[in-house]
Amino acid sequence: MKVNFWFDPTCPWCFVTSRWYSKVANELNIPTTWEIFSLSIKNKSTKRSSEMQEKHYRSLRVLRIIQSVKDHLTNDHVYNLYTALGSQVHLDKQPIDSNLKNILSNCDIDQKFIEKMDDESLDISIEKSTNKAVEICGDDVGVPILLLNDGKNEKAIFGPVISTIPDLKESLELWEHFKYITLNENVSELKRKRTIPLGL
């Protein structure tokens, strides 16, 4: 089994799912490629409040750093940077573009990558990655998007969207059910209202 996981660090639901999935991937030694998705680019044609526009702009500038790290460093650097940024935003409740020097240092990433925040040429790669996720999964999606490849089949799905991070036993049980649904081409959608608050 191999997995590609698309993320936007601003999405709290995606961050929860990534913590669940990381637990599973570490336990089962699943090779995982961490991919960039921009909700700002995906929703650029949607009417947004000035507050949301500002949030997406700041997010895009940070995504440029992640894209540059992905281009020049390792997949582990991308994952560690996503973890650090997600923790800052969703656990510490700090702006995504604050404390970047310390975050890069803690992730063993050179400070020079901060300069990439204003490199608009990186938007091409970010948009390409976002569009690839939409192409394989459908237009009516956000993040997380997971692409599973078991050597015989390769299928992508939006989700799972979960509210809290299960313990290891439940995480592995959820993974088995999720894997079956994702690889089953006959299943296209499951959805219901949220009854458990976001556990962040």
Flag whether 16 is in a domain.
yes
- Would you call 9 helix, strand, or coil by DSSP? coil
The DSSP secondary-structure symbol of 117 reads G
> What are the angstrom distances between the C-alpha of 2 and each of 14, 147, 185?
19, 8, 18
Q: Which long-range contacts (CB under 8 A, 24 or more apart) does 118-121 make?
A: 118/61, 118/64, 119/64, 119/68, 120/64
Looking at the structure of the chain, the number of domains it has is 1
Residue 189 forms part of a structural domain: no
Q: Is residue 102 part of a domain?
A: yes
What is the residue range of 31's domain?
2-183
Span 100-126, average pLDDT: 98
Beta-bridge partner residues of 154: 149
- The answer to whether residue 7 is domain-embedded is yes
pTM, rounded to two decimals: 0.96
**Per-residue model confidence as pLDDT tens digits over 133-184:** 999 999 989 999 999 999 999 999 999 999 999 999 999 999 999 999 999 9
Q: Is 24 within the bounds of a domain?
A: yes
The string of pLDDT tens digits covering residues 62-88 is: 999 999 999 999 999 999 999 999 999
Residue 28 lies in a domain: yes
Q: Is the pLDDT of residue 40 over 90?
A: no
- In a domain, residue 196? The reply is no
CATH number at residue 14: 3.40.30.10
